[in-house]
Amino acid sequence: MNELERVIEDIEGIDAPERVVVLTGAGVSAESGVPTFRGAGGLWKDFRPEELATPEAFARDPLLVWQWYEWRRDLIRAAQPNDAHAALAWFEREVEGACGYSLVTQNVDGLHRRAGSRRLLEIHGNMFRARCIREGTRREFPDSPAELPPRCTCGSLLRPDVVWFGEPIDLIADAMSEASAADVMLVIGTSGTVYPAAGLVSLVRGGMTIEINPDETPLSGAFSSSIRSSATAATRAVLEALARRLASCR
Ligand code: APR
């Protein structure tokens, strides 16, 4: 029996979950062709975070930061959500009314939203939204702007509506509250190296925690089960097992 089969068997034996929380990282979008940050081919191999993903970098060179984000936005405009994104959107609809559910993502690529997820906490923001640096007003910002760096109608610079290193995460309290209330937490495709997101799994009190990642991470030892697999090879099967468990208790 492999880890996935073992997790599915374990799910058949648990009490019906009252709240399922999922945490995703860049790995859930890897099979959509979106580069991760760390590991082979990761963005931080070619770019230095402090030069592109900090408020200081933006103040120093807003054009360079926007050129980098436009390069990433172009990549993602051409990408499609994969079956892990689709399975999560399906699960949200399937368990509506049967148990609490939320999807906490560190990703700013918007692919969960494009796949149909709505009970979504984008704790690091979304790079298809922009924010005026003076007024703080947010707007959807899906298309390539006519000029870089783009400006608000007030004349001030717009910035990507994402959380940069060193900035506060407005949604982290909500994410921590979700994790603390979870009796099942599924963590897909994160290296577990960036806090506070990496600390969420430690808030689960006595519930089942499952990691889906082809590689071991610093958090792997904290999970009740680790499935050494890609997101698309395991996510749907785990979610279907949870849905069956919930249906058998109705
Ligand atoms: N399926 C599942 N996991 C995968 C896949 C895949 N197909 N391919 C790679 N992974 C795993 C890698 O093994 C790695 O553990 O996804 C993880 C990606 O880790 P990171 O690149 O560090 O991404 P993430 O954990 O989301 O980074 C957290 O760091 O740079 C900041 O703000 C950025 O949100 C990001 C945060």
138 shares its domain with 207:
no
Burial (CB < 10 A; 0-12, 13-18, 19+), residue 168, is exposed
What CATH number is attached to the domain comprising 201?
A: 3.40.50.1220
Last residue in a domain, options 162, 183, 212: 162
Q: Band the pLDDT of 41: cuts 50, 70, 90.
A: confident
Closest CA to ligand 1's atom 15: 191
Q: Whole-angstrom Cα distance, residue 98 to residue 240?
A: 14
Given 107, 140, 162, the domain boundary residue is: 162
CA distance 158 to 17: 43
In the predicted structure, residue 14 carries a pLDDT above the cut 90 = yes
Residues 73 and 175 in one domain: no
Instruction: Confirm or reject: Cβ of 229 under 6 Å from ligand 1.
Output: no
Same domain, 15 and 119: yes
Does 240 share its domain with 138? no
What's the rounded Cα separation, in Å, for the pair 105 and 8?
23
Q: How confident is the model at residue 159 (pLDDT cuts 50, 70, 90)?
A: very high
pLDDT mean over 59-84:
96
**Which residue's CA is the closest to the ligand 1 atom numbered 26?**
25
Q: 25 in ligand 1 pocket by Cβ < 6 Å?
A: yes
- 23 and 141 in a single domain? The answer is no
Give yes or no: residues 143 and 200 share one domain. no
Pocket test for ligand 1, best of 31, 169, 194, 217 (most atoms within 8 A of CB): 194
DSSP 86-103: HHHHHHHHHTTTTSEEEE
Q: Within 13 Å and on the Cβ side, how many CA atoms surround 143?
A: 3
Nearest CA residue ID for atom 10, ligand 1: 27
**How far lies 114's CA from each of 30, 33, 110, 118, 147, in Å?**
15, 15, 6, 9, 26
Give the pLDDT of residue 39: 81
Chain position carrying tokens 């089942």: 208
Mean pLDDT computed over 217-244: 97
Q: What CATH number corresponds to the domain at position 146?
A: 3.30.1600.10
Task: Provide the domain count of the chain.
Answer: 2
Question: What span, in angstroms and rounded, lies between the C-alpha atoms of 149 and 98?
Answer: 46
Catalytic residue among 119, 124, 159, 245: 124
Pocket test for ligand 1, best of 31, 37, 111 (most atoms within 8 A of CB): 37
Print the domain residue range for 185.
3-33+81-124+169-248
- Of 162, 184, 211, the residue at which a domain comes to its end is 162
Q: Do 176 and 151 lie in a common domain? A: no
Ligand 1 centroid vs 197 CA: distance in angstroms?
A: 12
Give yes or no: residues 137 and 26 share one domain.
no
- In this structure, the answer to whether residues 58 and 178 fall within a common structural domain is no
Pocket test residue of 213, 216, 223 for ligand 1, highest count of atoms within 8 A of CB: 213
Active site residue 85: no
Residue 72 and residue 184 in one domain: no
Q: Are residues 195 and 239 in the same domain?
A: yes
Residue 196's pLDDT band, with cuts at 50, 70 and 90, is: very high
pTM above 0.85, yes or no: yes
Bridge partner list, 212:
188, 227
Under 8 Å between Cβ of 190 and 25: yes
Judge if 116 and 198 occupy the same domain: yes
